A and B are shown apart, each in its own frame.
Chain A
Amino acid sequence: MSHMVNPLATPDQLYQRRSFSALPTELQDAIFFSTQCLTQAAGLLLQLPQSVTAQANVIIARYWLEEPMMSHEFSDISAASVYLTAKLSPYPRSPRDLALVYNYLLSPSSTFFQPLASASGDSPPPPPTNIPNDYYLPEHIYNSFHTRMLDCESRILYALSFNTHVSLPHPLAITYLQALDFLNTSKSTVSKRTLAYLNTALLSPQMLYLTSQPNALAVAAIYNAAKDVGAKMPECEWWEVFDVDREELGFLVVGMRSVDGWGRKMREDVERIKAETESGKRGGMIRRRDVEGELRRRGLSVGNGYAKGAGGTGAGSEEPVDMEAEMARRMDEKMAEIEGSAS
C-alpha cells in the first residue's frame, strides 16, 4: 500500500533452484503451475479478492525458491499461503473455510483440472458427477488438514524471514492506463486485457513476479494488451516515463506472451503424470505421490527428490545438512511404507 517495490529473487536463488534441484525442470514447472492454478481456484471459492489470492501466488513462488518443493504437500502450501495472506488482509478466512474448499477441490467431484480434449484427439471424459460424499469433511480429516496448514504457515514465514509484503502491479497498471491515451480504443478493453496478462503471469514458472518490479510488470502487460487489441500506443518510448527500460520491457513482453502456450503444455503434463500413477485417475490436482511415481518411472531415485532439494542458498545454506538428513530419513520411511504395501 505504501510502497511499490518487492524483494526480488537473486540470480543465484533462481539458478540454484533450476540447477540443483533433484526434480527435473519440467516436473518443477508442472507442480508450480498446478499449485498456482489451485490457489486461484481456492481464492475464487473463498470469495477472496484477486489482490489477496495474487499475493498468495507470489508468496508460494518465493517460498519454493527457499525450500524443496517435495518437502510438503503442494496443496497444503497453497492453502497455507492463502490462509496467511487472507489473515493479513481485510478478508480473513477461517481454517474451516479453507479445509472445506481444499477438500472439495481435491475431491473427485471437483472440476479442477479435469482433462481437456487432448492433442492426440481422444475426447475428454465427461465432467465428474457431483457426489457430495466425495467432499464430506470428517472431523479428523479437518483436524489433520488444519495442523498441516499451520505447520506450513510457519514454515513459509520462516523461509521468507517473515517478509509477507507483496506489492502487486495491478493498481499501478490501472494508474498508468489512466495516464496513457489510447485514442482509438476503449480503456476498458485495454485494461481488461492488461489485467488478464498480469493474472496469467502469476501462474508461470518463469516467476516474472520474482524477477521484476511491479512497475515493469504493469508496463509490459499494458504493452501486450495494447498490441493485442490494436490500440495505438504513443510514438515515444513511453515506458521510460514509468521507469522501465527497453530491454526489461522486451524480456517481460515475451515472457508474458509465452505463458499461454505453457499453460496448455503443462496441463497435458500434469494429466499424463496423473494418469500414470497408481491412482489411475486422469484429472485433478497433482500430488506428491504422483511426482514420486513419475520419478520412479523415470528411474530417478525418489530419495533424491527430497534430499537435494531446491533453493537453500544464502541464509538457508547454514543448515542444509540437518535438512538433508531429515528429508532422507522421512524419505526412507515413506519408501518402506510404499514397499511394504506393495508386497
Chain B
Amino acid sequence: MTGKGKSRWADSAEDAALEAQLKKEKEEKKRLKAEKARKAAEAEKKKREAEAAAAAQRRQQHQTGDDDDDANGPPAKRRRLSPDRDAPPPSQAASTASSSNDSSKLLRFEGGRFGKCRSVENYDKLNDIEEGAYGWVARAREIETGKVVALKRLKIDPKDRSGLPVTGLREIQILKDCSHRNIVKLKEVVVGDDTSKIENIFIVLEFLEHDLKSILEDMPEPFLASEVKTLLLQLCSGIAYLHSHYILHRDLKTSNLLLNNRGQLKIADFGMARYVPDPPPPKLTQLVVTLWYRAPELLLGAARYGPEIDMWSVGCIFGELLTREPLLQGKNEVDELTKIFELCGLPTDDSWPGFRRLPNARSLRLPSTTSSTSFSNPTTTALIRAKFPLLTTAGVSLLASLLSLNPAKRPTAHEMLDHEYFRQEPKPKHEAMFPTFPSKAGQERRRKRETPNAPQRNQKGNESGIVDFSSLAVGGIFGAGREREERGGGFSLRMV
C-alpha cells in the first residue's frame, strides 16, 4: 500500500528503514486482520452474542467508572483493558490484537460500530400510545426477544424539500450519545420494509408505563412531599448529565417525563434538544420550549441563552408536581409573560441587569426604575410563599430560585442536587416504595391533550444562522420594537 519508492516526505535513510519495517509489521497485521475477518465471517452468528457481552461489559465498566455520574457512563464509552482480559469478542479483535503484549496501561476507546438499520417488521405493534397532530408513539414487542418497547415515528413531511428534518436527526444523535438512568434509552432506529425509499423511520425506545402529565391528570390526591422530592431529584440528575455534556433539552415539561412502575423517572422527547457549547453561540432560535414552560429570557427574545432555560422549566414542573396543574398557563406569549410577572414580580434593573436590552423588552412598558422603588415590588420568594402556603421554607427558596427572572440567578442542575430541600424531612421517598398507577400507555388509546405543543420549528432547518421571528410575527404579539410601540400595541404592564 505504501507505493513504490520512498515517500516525498521521507527525508532520511533512517526514515526509509523505519518505514520498511513498519510496512512489514503492517502487512503482518493486515494478514492477521484478514484471518480474523474470515473467522468473523464464519462466526457471523456469534457476533450478536459478543455484542451483547461487550455491551454488558461496558455497562459494568460504567458502574466502576471514575466519572461522577456513578452508575452512568459518559456518552463517550471508554473501555479499560487489563492485561489479563479474557479473549475479546471478534468485533473488537482488531483494536485489541495490537495491544495484546504490552502497553496495558493505555486507554482503549470504544465507539461502537456502524451498519444498516433493521426493519420495523422485527416488531409487533401492540397499541397506540399517542397519536397527536404531529407525533405517533406506539407500544410494540420485539418479535425475537419478546421485549416491550416504544416506537416513535419520526415526523417527516414528504413535501418538505429539505430532506430529513434536522430536529429528528438531532434527537436520534443525542439519544444515541446519552447513557444515564434518568434519560430514556434509544435502542435502535428502524425503517419500513421498503428500503428503496426511506420514508418510515422509527426510533425504538425503552418502554415506560407512564408520563407524568397523564399521572397528574388522573391523580385524586397530589404527590406527597417525599414523592415530589424523588421525582425532582431524578429529573435534576438527568438534566445535570445533559448539561455537563453540553446538551440543552429545550422542551422540558411533564408530558415529556416518563415514569415506570418502579418509580423511575426518565427524560424523553429530545425533538428540540441540541448540543450547545459553553459559552453559547450568539444566535439560537427562541422558538423552543412549550409556552407554559418557557423562560422569560426566551419570551423576551434572547438569542443567546443556555442551560438556565431548562432550569426555568424545572421550576414550572416543580410547581405542577405540587398542585397537579401547570403553573403558568399563558394563552400567548404576552399572556405568558404577564402570568410570569404576576407570579414572580417585575424585573428591575437591579434584579436583572440588562433585561431591557433584550429585543422584545423594548415593546414592554414597565414602570421606570424610579417608580418601581416607590411602589412595593414584592420579592419572588414572598410571592411564591403566598402561592404555595404548604411548601417548606427550603422548598420555597428552591422554587423561587428556579423561577428567578434573571437566568444568572437560577441554580444549575448540579447546585440544585445539593439543595437543602432534599436533605430536610420528609426525606425523598425510595423509588421502590413509589405508588403504582394504572398505565394508560399500556392499555388504551390516549385522549387528546389540551396542553399546547412544542413550538413548530422553521422547517428550513436553519437555526443558528438566522434568527427566526416568524411565529412571533404571525401571532402578532411583539412587533419589531419601536414600530409596534408607535402603533400603540405591544406589552403594557403597570404596577398598582
User: Which residues of A approach B to under 8 Å, CB–CB?
Assistant: 1-16, 62, 65-66, 83-84, 87-88, 90-92, 94-95, 146, 149-151, 153-155, 157-165, 167, 206, 211, 213, 215, 224, 227-228, 240, 243-248, 250-251, 253-255, 257-258, 260-262, 265, 313-319, 326
Given A10-B91, A84-B163, A245-B103, 5 further pairs, Cβ under 8 A? A3-B177, A11-B94, A15-B41, A157-B198, A224-B9
- Find A261's partner among B5, B26, B191 (CB 8 Å cutoff): B5
Chain B residues whose C-beta falls within 8 Å of the C-beta of A262 in the assembled complex:
3
Say yes or no: B29 contacts A251, CB within 8 Å: yes
Name the interface size band of chain B: 35 or more
Chain A residues whose C-beta falls within 8 Å of the C-beta of B163 in the assembled complex:
83-84, 87, 95, 149-150, 153-154
Say yes or no: A245 contacts B99, CB within 8 Å: yes
Chain A min CB distance to B414 (Å)? 16
Say yes or no: A4 contacts B76, CB within 8 Å: yes
Say yes or no: A11 contacts B109, CB within 8 Å: no
Chain A min CB distance to B17 (Å)? 12
Chain A residues whose C-beta falls within 8 Å of the C-beta of B461 in the assembled complex:
87, 92
**Contact status of A248 and B117, CB under 8 A, knowing A10-B40, A87-B169:** no
- Find B113's partner among A7, A88, A227, A244 (CB 8 Å cutoff): A7
Does B74 interact with chain A (Cβ within 8 Å)?
yes
User: Which residues of B approach A to under 8 Å, CB–CB?
Assistant: 1-5, 7-11, 15, 18-19, 21-23, 25-26, 29, 33-34, 36-38, 40-41, 44, 47, 74-78, 91, 93-95, 98-99, 102-103, 105-119, 161-164, 166, 169-170, 172-173, 176-177, 188-189, 191, 195-198, 201, 245-247, 275, 277, 281, 460-462, 464-465
Say yes or no: A254 contacts B22, CB within 8 Å: yes
Chain B residues whose C-beta falls within 8 Å of the C-beta of A261 in the assembled complex:
2-5, 7-8
Chain B min CB distance to A18 (Å)? 9
Say yes or no: B25 contacts A154, CB within 8 Å: no
Chain B residues whose C-beta falls within 8 Å of the C-beta of A163 in the assembled complex:
112, 114, 173, 176
Chain B residues whose C-beta falls within 8 Å of the C-beta of A228 in the assembled complex:
9, 11
Say yes or no: A251 contacts B41, CB within 8 Å: no
- Find A316's partner among B18, B22, B106, B115 (CB 8 Å cutoff): B115
**Contact status of A254 and B465, CB under 8 A, knowing A66-B116, A165-B177, A314-B47:** no
Chain B residues whose C-beta falls within 8 Å of the C-beta of A244 in the assembled complex:
106
Say yes or no: A12 contacts B115, CB within 8 Å: no
**Contact status of A258 and B38, CB under 8 A, knowing A8-B113, A161-B115, A243-B106:** no
**Contact status of A8 and B111, CB under 8 A, knowing A2-B177, A258-B7:** yes
Say yes or no: A5 contacts B109, CB within 8 Å: yes
Say yes or no: A15 contacts B111, CB within 8 Å: no
Say yes or no: A260 contacts B26, CB within 8 Å: no
A-B residue pairs in contact (CB < 8 Å), sample of 27:
A3-B74, A3-B76, A6-B111, A9-B114, A11-B36, A11-B93, A15-B34, A16-B41, A66-B115, A92-B461, A154-B163, A154-B164, A157-B198, A161-B116, A163-B176, A211-B94, A227-B15, A251-B25, A255-B26, A257-B9, A258-B2, A260-B9, A314-B44, A314-B115, A315-B115, A315-B117, A316-B115
